[in-house]
């Protein structure tokens, strides 16, 4: 297209450059000027009103619907509708500016505009008179200037009469988009909370968020009670297929774990459950299906697809959440059978939904490992079954990243480690597992094939303090990290090393094959992002030494912690990011790894160490 630059004059001497064909909202947003658009620019809320004159495209049908003839006459436009065609003068009303939020997780951060799906509006409600014969609901709506397309569930209407009888002059409306969820007496705008749930195959995490400012008020984690039916998604799918009532039992187990972490965060923050008006849930497709009571059978057979993929608003009790009854759990959409809502969440957390011109790779390490490549306007995704080792499951002394977990290890003549919360060591979390394995490899206690050698095979320069830590264990050698009082020991066994090898082999072969598919070498990456709920950061050098991650400039490597959970929090706080995630789910290109001829070979190669 030819150059078609135009100037948008904002008054007070400020102006910005844009080009013909974009809407005023797009022009303002790209210049960093934020104005209120709760509907996300769909032309349905009518909130992005702006005074505009100059060369603009004609008034659209949406504007004719949402603005009165008088307002249009006076030059009022909807910024999301009005297309710039030449130089334009505008004035942005003060009331349209939005606060910004900074969603921080383990040092990584994403700046977003505050536009939570659920908002509270305080309304001054004078007594209704005979000349206002319309319904009390409409009276409330008019007094509060609520959305014209307001809708209400019958259950809310049934509660309204007694609430409205008690309202004397002041009420608060709780709105989800154009849905009136509740009316409360007085001004309760301050009390508005949401909960983000990461339903992992192994670990379930809840994060309680203040919807007014985006702050995380509390976080809690627990082991998914479904693990009693097996450690991976395949065993869960088989339970649903084979056991009578299996689906219901799996659903109840998921709900039990979700209810537990919800209770923990509410207790910690001192928030009553009925003030939690919104929830967002991420999880892989199997977890989402089981939690919602949708049979996962199709995920277990060719072509391995889910039944439900797009986003879903589910009643909270159907996801195990006892929160406000009119809340709806926003279940993030999924991309493919084995690339679920958790990946969409991590993509949002890593800002991979946007093309910023850089080539970026995201590895989300969980029981299933998903790998995402942002390459220009393309988003390539794949997944690989890493197993639960990094979340502590199937590791003899493994545990989730909680106080007492060994999170980093250093073998300098003797065994040194640090635990989360500096408490006495109780077990080994993901980052600790990586460290101890890499250190044992470095000092020669583990060889390139992953075998843990006996004391008599060790090089003579291995320190005595380390030799003494080697013990005989049921299935081979083991290495003791901690000898606690009362016989509480933390150690790593030969079998644990094999579990690690399976996990890191799966992750590495997935990364390599996706990069090869895209025709890229690891050096071509501008950023390498690692997500996952394993304690603090994994040591970059140790992860590369193990061959779990490809060797590249460590400065390019960033850690974003539990990206899936951050994505769920972002979905609570930004309607725009909900839509972006839905767009990602529709447009990402999925690479079916298990069905490339190379995969099995590459997987077994990747299990070896390359010290």
Q: What are phi and psi of 132, to 5 degrees?
A: -120, 75
In the complex with its own copies, the residue whose CB is nearer, 7 or 128, is 128
Under a CB-based contact definition with an 8 Å cutoff, are residues 569 and 196 in contact? Answer: yes
How many whole angstroms separate alpha carbon 310 and alpha carbon 490?
44
Work out the burial of residue 364: count CB atoms within 10 Å of its CB; fewer than 13 is exposed, 13-18 middle, 19 or more buried: buried
In the complex with its own copies, the residue whose CB is nearer, 343 or 396, is 343
To the nearest whole angstrom, how small is the minimum distance from the Cβ of residue 599 to its own copies?
Answer: 13
The four Cα atoms 128, 129, 132, 136 give a dihedral, to 10 degrees, of 30
Q: Exactly one of 31, 143, 150, 608 binds its own copies (CB under 8 A); which one?
A: 150
Interacting positions 264-303 with its own copies (CB under 8 A) = 285, 292-295, 297-298, 302-303
In the complex with its own copies, the residue whose CB is nearer, 187 or 592, is 592
Residue 307 interacts with its own copies (CB under 8 A): yes or no = yes
Residue 135 interacts with its own copies (CB under 8 A): yes or no = yes
Apex CA 330: angle with CA 584 and CA 103, to 5°? 70
Residue 85 interacts with its own copies (CB under 8 A): yes or no = yes
From start to end of 360-401, where are the E strands? 360-364, 369-375, 378-384
Residue 19 interacts with its own copies (CB under 8 A): yes or no = no
Residue 60 interacts with its own copies (CB under 8 A): yes or no = yes
Residue 175 interacts with its own copies (CB under 8 A): yes or no = no
To the nearest whole angstrom, how small is the minimum distance from the Cβ of residue 583 to its own copies?
Answer: 11
To the nearest whole angstrom, how small is the minimum distance from the Cβ of residue 135 to its own copies?
Answer: 3
Residue 453 interacts with its own copies (CB under 8 A): yes or no = no
To the nearest whole angstrom, how small is the minimum distance from the Cβ of residue 142 to its own copies?
Answer: 10
The four Cα atoms 589, 592, 593, 594 give a dihedral, to 10 degrees, of 170
How many whole angstroms separate alpha carbon 109 and alpha carbon 226?
32
Residue 165 interacts with its own copies (CB under 8 A): yes or no = yes
Residue 43 interacts with its own copies (CB under 8 A): yes or no = yes
Residue 157 interacts with its own copies (CB under 8 A): yes or no = yes
Residue 451 interacts with its own copies (CB under 8 A): yes or no = no
Which part of the chain contacts its own copies (CB under 8 A), choosing from 52-60, 347-355, 530-538, 555-563?
52-60
Under a CB-based contact definition with an 8 Å cutoff, are residues 40 and 48 in contact? Answer: no
How many whole angstroms separate alpha carbon 400 and alpha carbon 389?
10
Residue 144 interacts with its own copies (CB under 8 A): yes or no = no
Residue 83 interacts with its own copies (CB under 8 A): yes or no = yes
Residues 6 or more apart whose CB falls under 8 angstroms from that of 267 comprise: none
Residue the block writes with tokens 């009925």: 274
Under a CB-based contact definition with an 8 Å cutoff, are residues 100 and 35 in contact? Answer: no
The residues of the shown chain that bind its own copies, judged by CB under 8 A, are 21, 23, 41-43, 57-58, 60-62, 65, 80-81, 83, 85, 128-139, 150-152, 154, 157-158, 160-162, 164-165, 285, 292-295, 297-298, 302-310, 312-315, 318, 334-337, 339, 590, 592, 595
């Amino acid at each position: 297209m030819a150059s078609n630059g135009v100037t948008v004059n904002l008054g007070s001497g400020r102006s910005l450059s844009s080009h013909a064909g974009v809407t005023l909202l797009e022009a303002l947003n790209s210049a960093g000027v934020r104005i209120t658009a709760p509907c996300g620019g769909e032309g349905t809320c009518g909130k992005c009103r702006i005074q505009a004159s100059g060369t603009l495209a004609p008034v659209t049908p949406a504007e004719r619907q949402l603005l009165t003839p008088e307002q249009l006459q006076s030059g009022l436009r909807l910024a999301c509708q009005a297309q710039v065609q030449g130089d334009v003068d505008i004035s942005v009303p003060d009331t349209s500016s939005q606060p910004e939020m900074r969603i921080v997780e383990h040092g990584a951060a994403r700046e977003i505009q505050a536009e939570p799906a659920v908002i509270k509006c305080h309304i001054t409600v004078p007594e209704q008179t005979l000349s206002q014969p319309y319904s009390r609901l409409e009276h409330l709506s008019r007094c509060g200037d609520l959305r014209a397309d307001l809708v209400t569930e019958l259950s809310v209407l049934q509660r309204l009469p007694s609430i409205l009888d008690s309202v004397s002059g002041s009420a608060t409306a709780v709105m989800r988009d154009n849905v009136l969820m509740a009316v409360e007496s007085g001004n309760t705008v301050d009390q508005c909370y949401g909960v983000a749930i990461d339903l992992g195959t192994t670990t379930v995490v809840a994060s309680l968020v203040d919807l007014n400012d985006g702050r995380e008020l509390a976080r809690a984690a627990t082991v998914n009670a479904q693990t009693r039916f097996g450690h991976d998604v395949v065993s869960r799918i088989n339970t649903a297929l084979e056991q009578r009532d299996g689906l219901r039992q799996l659903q109840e187990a998921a709900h039990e774990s979700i209810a537990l972490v919800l209770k923990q965060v509410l207790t910690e923050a001192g928030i009553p459950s009925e003030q939690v008006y919104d929830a967002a849930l991420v999880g892989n497709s199997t977890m989402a299906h089981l939690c919602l009571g949708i049979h996962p059978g199709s995920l277990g057979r060719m072509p391995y697809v889910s039944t439900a993929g797009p986003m879903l608003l589910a009643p909270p009790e159907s996801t195990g959440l006892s929160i406000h009854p009119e809340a709806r759990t926003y279940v993030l959409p999924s991309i493919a059978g084995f690339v679920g809502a958790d990946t969409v969440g991590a993509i949002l957390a890593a800002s991979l939904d946007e093309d910023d011109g850089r080539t970026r790779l995201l590895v989300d390490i969980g029981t299933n490992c998903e790998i995402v490549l942002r390459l220009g306007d393309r988003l390539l995704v794949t997944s690989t079954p890493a197993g639960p080792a990094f979340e502590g499951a199937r590791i003899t002394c493994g545990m989730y990243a909680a106080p007492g977990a060994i999170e980093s290890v250093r073998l300098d003549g003797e065994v040194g480690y640090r635990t989360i919360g500096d408490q006495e060591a109780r077990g080994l979390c993901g980052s600790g597992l990586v460290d101890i394995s890499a250190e044992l490899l470095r000092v020669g206690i583990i060889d390139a094939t992953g075998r843990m050698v006996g004391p008599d095979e060790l090089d003579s320069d291995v320190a005595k303090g380390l030799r003494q830590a080697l013990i005989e264990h049921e299935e081979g050698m083991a290495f003791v990290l901690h000898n606690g009082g009362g016989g509480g020991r933390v150690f790593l066994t030969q079998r644990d090393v094999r579990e690690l090898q399976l996990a890191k082999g799966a992750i590495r072969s997935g990364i390599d094959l996706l990069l090869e598919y895209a025709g890229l070498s690891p050096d071509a990456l501008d950023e390498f992002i690692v997500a996952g709920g394993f304690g603090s950061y994994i040591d970059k050098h140790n992860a590369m030494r193990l061959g779990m991650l490809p060797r590249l400039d460590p400065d390019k490597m960033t850690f974003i912690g539990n990206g899936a959970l951050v994505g769920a929090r972002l979905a609570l706080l930004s309607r725009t990011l909900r839509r972006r995630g839905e767009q990602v789910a529709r447009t990402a290109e999925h690479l079916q790894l298990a069905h490339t001829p190379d995969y099995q070979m590459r997987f077994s190669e990747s299990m070896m160490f390359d010290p």
